[in-house]
Chain A
């Protein structure tokens, strides 16, 4: 009996994508100002738990998403890379704020000019610092992109 093989694979694919988006656990990688806004996004008023994301994991082994919240200094860069390497696949990265996206207003010797020099970044969230709404918009965009298959791991 002939069955077109694409039907089967797409549905599994979709199920996998859906399950990936619905409980994406972030690792706590708070660095600077943006970390406070990330905490605000996780607490009462903005409530990230609605997207199955309130469990900020302290261990990178248990996390799927790294939200780089804040400026990354030259001294912190190897640490950040190591935390990223320890995360299990599939993994995603959100660069939160101007500093981690591009270096922001601090174009000097101490800062890495954008965290994309070190790790692959999926979503850039602008703002200094981005409000919790911006961060949530970034997260939802990431969900959409995973669902669409734009970001495929």
Chain B
């Protein structure tokens, strides 16, 4: 099933979500972010998936967020399920959701620095040493 894709701006984002809720899209199933570092401007693309069980259809909403101004309105009032997803997006990408009840890190420890899923954040790979390892009898 191919979801219908709607692109919008940060200003119209919340209104659009409200109209979707009235339209009969009961569930917000997924919210994620794509980091287009040095590939696209604006840098962050927020992708939200909606599901209507009554109409049996899906919709995808895409919003671009600028690197300088990382704020976007929160939709937790409309869809309470967005709570964890927005916290995850904040944790992993540093997107700030305005009026979110508890915008703290969710997966990483609280004192963690940086946002791991950004493209300019290294994967933290530790090189594996195969040579000169102590011999085992």
Which chain A residues have a beta carbon within 8 Å of chain B's beta carbons? 74-75, 103, 107-110, 113
| Shortest beta-carbon contacts, A-B, top 3 | A109-B124, A75-B109, A107-B125
Q: In the complex, what residues of B have CB within 8 A of residue A107's CB? A: 123, 125-126, 128
CB–CB B109/A109 < 8 A: no
Which of A107, A108, A109, A110 has the most chain B CB atoms inside 10 A of its CB? A109
CB–CB B109/A110 < 8 A: no
CB–CB B128/A109 < 8 A: no
Q: In the complex, A110 Cα to B112 Cα: how many Å?
A: 11
User: Please, could you name 6 A-B residue pairs with CB atoms under 8 Å apart, sorted by A?
Assistant: A108-B125, A109-B121, A110-B108, A110-B116, A110-B124, A113-B126
At the interface, is chain B mostly helix, strand, loop or mixed?
A: loop
Q: In the complex, A88 Cα to B112 Cα: how many Å?
A: 32
Q: In the complex, what residues of B have CB within 8 A of residue A75's CB? A: 107-109
Q: In the complex, A108 Cα to B109 Cα: how many Å?
A: 15
List 15 extra interface pairs beyond A74-B112, A103-B126, A108-B125, CB under 8 A: A74-B109, A75-B107, A107-B123, A107-B125, A107-B126, A107-B128, A108-B123, A109-B116, A109-B121, A109-B123, A109-B124, A110-B108, A110-B116, A110-B124, A113-B126
Q: In the complex, A64 Cα to B114 Cα: how many Å?
A: 39
Which residues of B83-137 are within 8 A (CB) of A? 107-109, 112, 116, 121-126, 128
Q: In the complex, A113 Cα to B109 Cα: how many Å?
A: 17
